[in-house]
Amino acid sequence: MNKATKSIVVVGGGTAGWITAGRIAAMHKANQPDGVQVTLVESPNIPIIGVGEGTWPTMRNTLIKLGISETDFIRECDASFKQGAKFARWVDGSDTDFYYHPLMLPQGFGKVNLAPYWQQHRHNGLEGQSFSAAVCFQEAICEQGLAPKMITTPEFNSVANYAYHLNAGKFSSFLQKHCCEKLGVQHILADVTAVHSAENGDIAAVETQQAGRVEGDLFIDCTGFSALLLGKHFEVPWVDCSDVLFIDRALAVQVPYAGEDAPIASHTISTAQEAGWIWDIGLVHRRGVGHVYASGYTTEEQALQRLADYVGPMFDESAVRRIPIRSGHRQLFWKNNCVAVGLSAGFLEPLEASALVLVELSAAMIAEQLPACRAVMDITARRFNDTFHYRWQRIIDFLKLHYILSKRTDNAFWIDNRDPQTIPESLQELMTLWRYQSPWDHDFTSNNEVFPAASYQYVLYGMGFETHPEFQQHQLDEAQAREQLNKNRRNIEQALRQLPTNRDLLSKIHQYGLQTL
């Protein structure tokens, strides 16, 4: 029980496996003689899923912690800049129906809540301005296809907050090379054939076809949907969320640009369809486009046709990948000496790109709170389970929020999504609260929040939700609000003058590189 935790075995590669192995190896000096040993075992025969191309700004910190150059990452992973998401046709389905969830907080957030002021004045002085356009300069940047920084801005620094779009397959290979060559991770290409138990019920070792027995003190399950260790070996039950989130299929395809100088969108585009939505992610050399839908409300043929209509003449049906989506998560994420990260822990539709951020958060917590020995591992496991159960629930609530605010009636999919029976009680409670007061930090009391109050504001007011202004009079600081809105207008003018297009900046990074910090 008091034996030091010195050997970590990550089973499964892909982005989840390599980020987790890398974070542990970097923090616990796996490349030093006295460091923790980190071994990653992955099958040479199982391809990675490889469609998670959207990230959060947290990825910048992850790359820094791994000691990765931003220039190298952008060049090697076909990465581009992402400044948020544009949601089209989610409210009423019309051509002019769109709103933004940017990656920046509203202007002056923390000093003043601009939501009550905007609600009060949007029918006069702020006529025609969306909430995000009025309070944040990032929507204007995205609409013009501009980058979040300049070539003179050092690596990982920004003018506007940003994340990345990336080629998931290339990112995995890039991480593998870095982890093995720089961080001391040992890589074993082998198929796991059995799991051996210790007397106390822990995993003692995994048996592999090509490399024999691999022992460890802590095992990390990154085996994807098969959940080989936590699901199959420990039989941790699956918590199904399909009664809340109806999406259960994805059709994904890669689309070439019309020309080498075609604009690269600096945001994810999510366009609602009759029974789901289409994602559109711009990388350097291609776009990643996919239609996620609910099979209970449309057929694969209809979904495929919607995808073809969206892509246009460049659509290649033979290149479409079909991916099942099972919305839910494990009842526990850490059991005994095994913790699941990535798809083995769970999966939700990619509406707000939550898959990779959950990997990052999991890897960070494991690395930062790595149990010193088996005697304290169960305490860490309880903390981890509590933290991630909370985070999964908050993500489910936030995804559902997009659906319940829609006014679409063209398919029962949208109508059923607004049925109170499908809305978590925690979200119903918040919606009642926000009828009378705008979302603010005091609505979220945990330090494990995934989405800040600002994110809820962007979605609520972007989709036409109304907080009764008469109950917010006492919250209004007119002078402070006007000052911040004026400052936002000046920021928009300056950004539009100074920032290059997304493609121009990426071309310069490929040619010259960014300044290192």
Distance CA 260, CA 378 (A): 54
DSSP 8-state assignment for residue 202 = S
C-alpha distances (whole Å) from 273 to each of 267, 355, 395, 401 are 19, 22, 22, 17
**Does residue 341 contact residue 359 with C-beta atoms inside 8 Å?**
yes
Across residues 82-104, what is the average pLDDT?
Answer: 97
- 511: Cβ–Cβ under 8 A, 6 or more apart, which residues? none
What pLDDT, on the 0 to 100 scale, is given for residue 63? 98
Confidence bin at 99 (pLDDT 50/70/90): very high
pLDDT in tens, 131-179: 999 999 999 999 999 999 999 999 999 999 999 999 999 999 999 999 9
The DSSP line for 268-288 is EEEEEETTEEEEEEE-SSEEE
What pLDDT, on the 0 to 100 scale, is given for residue 320? 96
Distance CA 20, CA 94 (A): 43
pLDDT in tens, 441-490: 888 888 889 999 999 999 999 999 999 877 666 667 788 999 999 999 99
pLDDT in tens, 241-255: 999 999 999 999 999
pLDDT in tens, 216-228: 999 999 999 999 9
Distance CA 274, CA 440 (A): 33
pTM metric for this prediction: 0.96
Distance CA 308, CA 30 (A): 48
